[in-house]
Amino acid sequence: MATQLHCCPECRATKFHHPVAEFCRTLMSILVLISLYGTRFCNGLPLEPFGYVSIDCGGVGGYNDNFTGLAWVGENDYLESYHDLRSANLTSSIVLMQDSNSTIRDNVKQLETARIFNFSSAFTRYCYNFNLSLSNKNSTVYLVRAMFPSLLSVSDSEQPRIVVDTSYLEVPYRPEPSYEPLTIELLATASDDSMNVCLTPDNARFTDTGIVAISSLELRSVPETLYPVLIHGKVDADGRVVQDTFNYYVTQARLNFGGDESSPGIRYPSDKYDRLWYAAPRGDRQSRNIPVSSIYGLDKFNVKSIKGSTVPNISPEDDLFQVPLAVSTSALEGVDSTSNISFQLDNLYYYGSTYCLSIVLFDVDADENRSRIVNIYNQDYNYFSQNYSGPWQWILQDSEVPKTQTNIWSDRAFKFIGSPDTTFEILPAANSARPVMVNALELYAVVENVPLKTNPWDVSKVQILRDKLPVSGKSFGDPCLPVPWEWIKCDLELRVIVEINLGSWGLQGSLGEDFKFPWVLTVLDLSNNRLNGTLPRSLGISSFNGAAKM
């Protein structure tokens, strides 16, 4: 929206401090803001934190949800070729039935609808594009979260795979019928000013045709100082963080042990980065709210919830994870000095991968003078330990739970080699005067990222060709990675396109005489299409004559 301001002569002629001139300058500033954010103002939506995008897939957007107050938008500006896909019936939206427990979930409104994509090939990708140049300039790190409806709601839905830029993320297999929606969340480092989140069918289970359904997609900018070990890798001998952009960190669990199971999870605005903190269930039943994994075995007769009002007094350099106050001031505590807290995380779907774990320990009863000292162990079938020989690996040993003056996290994140399930046990140390306790836990799978994209020149040229194809022949995302489009061959080492095989693909229209092909193209097949108009000079031929194969 363009805005033009005509100030009176007095405004232009007066000195800097003149009241009328000040009014003009103020008005100009307001109008500039309106020109930048006019759409949001006109729709009655408040401005979001920088780098926050919430897409209601299959819905129309234009509303603020009741729980977070964040604005949700439709897909028009994010789903690549949105209108063409709809007109070709390759995508549609549906309304879903909600079960009786949906009121305690997050994203309730978004789960009322879903975007359906029709796949005719395992090579096909449908992509949501985020322009990060409009986001937080001070960070390249983003939390990406996708929610898929239950398989019971969309009975014919295929098991999806997610592609973030050029890397596959496996989605845990859900045996049918699955009554629960599925949430996938990760921390990712952007390599440039754009990020693609694409959906494709699972090759291992894909037949000839299929559909994939998605209900919501969220992007949250987080500061690069958050999770420094997870995001940036190891710290060198001088204490400087060594940059590591080769990994994604996929959320396996984020638990608020002192939380209420009957309430929605804690998120924005309590957590300004909109992380989802879910209550850990008591007893043997699993939580219905944890993003990926399941939790079992918290003995409800051996633990109790405790709350506190003490605000952790943490220096900024120690507050590496910025846990929301509602999480750090609640906890699970053993019922007596002999109690332990034991639980199992199941369905860790990156079997054999490396995981990063952080455990929150902050004593909510700061007025109590007696110390609380704990030992924390992990039982893992593929255990990895430099300090303990046996099936249990110690995480913390004889550590006093802090009160007000130190880091509320037990330690910076460390790594262990995961199996499909893993058990944690928190025990009182022999010299502890009070029972064990724990506030929260976060667990991430470390997934290798391919931080490379196809040469931008090549991408721009094949996108022009793609746009001249019938919609049914189009594919989206990076042309070469993680797998090439069906009609393209690439040199993955050089990240360039070397073959274009579009013979009989229904290509139509004109390329224009100035059109240029990828630089190192060795094979070009444009035969048996309906191209017309002036031929590109780069072809070196005067006419197609029904065929153009080189």
Selection from 346, 352, 380, 93 nearest residue 215 by Cα: 93
CB 58: neighbour CB atoms within 10 A? Answer: 25
- Establish if 303 belongs to a structural domain: yes
CATH number at residue 67: 2.60.120.430
Burial class from Cβ neighbours inside 10 Å (0-12, 13-18, 19+) for residue 254 reads: buried
Prior bond to 269 cis, omega within 30? yes
- Establish if 406 belongs to a structural domain: yes
Q: Rounded to whole angstroms, how far apart are CA atoms 188 and 177? A: 31
Pairing mode, if any, of strands 414-417 and 294-296?
A: unpaired
* 133 lies in the same domain as 218: yes
| Joined tokens for residue 274 | 């909109």
Number of domains forming the structure of the chain: 4
* 113 lies in the same domain as 213: yes
For the cut 60, the answer to whether the pLDDT of residue 345 exceeds it is yes
* 214 lies in the same domain as 289: no
Boundary-marking domain end, from 197, 222, 247: 222
Task: State mean pLDDT over 264-289.
Answer: 78
Return the residue matching tokens 């002999």.
338
- Establish if 545 belongs to a structural domain: no
- Establish if 546 belongs to a structural domain: no
* 246 lies in the same domain as 209: no
* 76 lies in the same domain as 174: yes
**Lowest-confidence range among 65-69, 116-120, 417-421?**
417-421
Q: Residue 275: its pLDDT value, please?
A: 93
pTM of the predicted model, to two decimals?
Answer: 0.79
Q: Residue 235: its pLDDT value, please?
A: 46
* 95 lies in the same domain as 216: yes
Q: What percent of the chain stands above pLDDT 70?
A: 65
- Establish if 176 belongs to a structural domain: yes
Selection from 358, 342, 345 nearest residue 420 by Cα: 345
For the cut 60, the answer to whether the pLDDT of residue 10 exceeds it is no
Q: Rounded to whole angstroms, how far apart are CA atoms 78 and 197? A: 10
* 486 lies in the same domain as 533: yes
For the cut 50, the answer to whether the pLDDT of residue 107 exceeds it is yes
For the cut 80, the answer to whether the pLDDT of residue 72 exceeds it is yes
Boundary-marking domain end, from 448, 479, 503: 448
- Establish if 508 belongs to a structural domain: yes
Residue 145: pLDDT band (50, 70, 90) is: very high
Q: Residue 103: its pLDDT value, please?
A: 47
**Lowest-confidence range among 4-8, 419-423, 474-478, 503-507?**
4-8
> Which tens digit of pLDDT belongs to each residue from 176-226?
556 677 888 999 888 788 899 999 877 655 566 678 889 999 999 988 878
Q: Residue 229: its pLDDT value, please?
A: 61
> Which tens digit of pLDDT belongs to each residue from 220-261?
998 887 876 666 555 445 544 455 456 788 888 888 988 887
* 281 lies in the same domain as 418: yes
DSSP designation for 47: P
Residue 70: pLDDT band (50, 70, 90) is: very high
For the cut 50, the answer to whether the pLDDT of residue 385 exceeds it is no
Q: Rounded to whole angstroms, how far apart are CA atoms 116 and 501? A: 29
* 275 lies in the same domain as 233: yes
Q: What rounded mean pLDDT belongs to the chain? A: 74
* 380 lies in the same domain as 275: yes
> Which tens digit of pLDDT belongs to each residue from 309-330?
666 666 666 667 788 888 888 8
- Establish if 277 belongs to a structural domain: yes
Q: Residue 270: its pLDDT value, please?
A: 92
For the cut 90, the answer to whether the pLDDT of residue 498 exceeds it is yes
Task: State mean pLDDT over 449-477.
Answer: 84
Cα dihedral 272, 276, 279, 281, rounded to 10, equals -170
Question: DSSP of 48-104, one letter per residue?
Answer: PPTTEEEEETTS-EEEE-TTT--EEE-STTTBTTHHHHHHTTSEEEEE----TTGGG
- Establish if 326 belongs to a structural domain: yes
Q: Which residue has the higher pLDDT, 462 or 407?
A: 462
**Lowest-confidence range among 71-75, 409-413, 423-427, 505-509?**
409-413
Q: Which domain holds residue 28?
A: 9-42
* 99 lies in the same domain as 181: yes
Q: Residue 36: its pLDDT value, please?
A: 36
Boundary-marking domain end, from 448, 475, 509: 448
* 78 lies in the same domain as 110: yes
Residues β-bridged to residue 298: 283
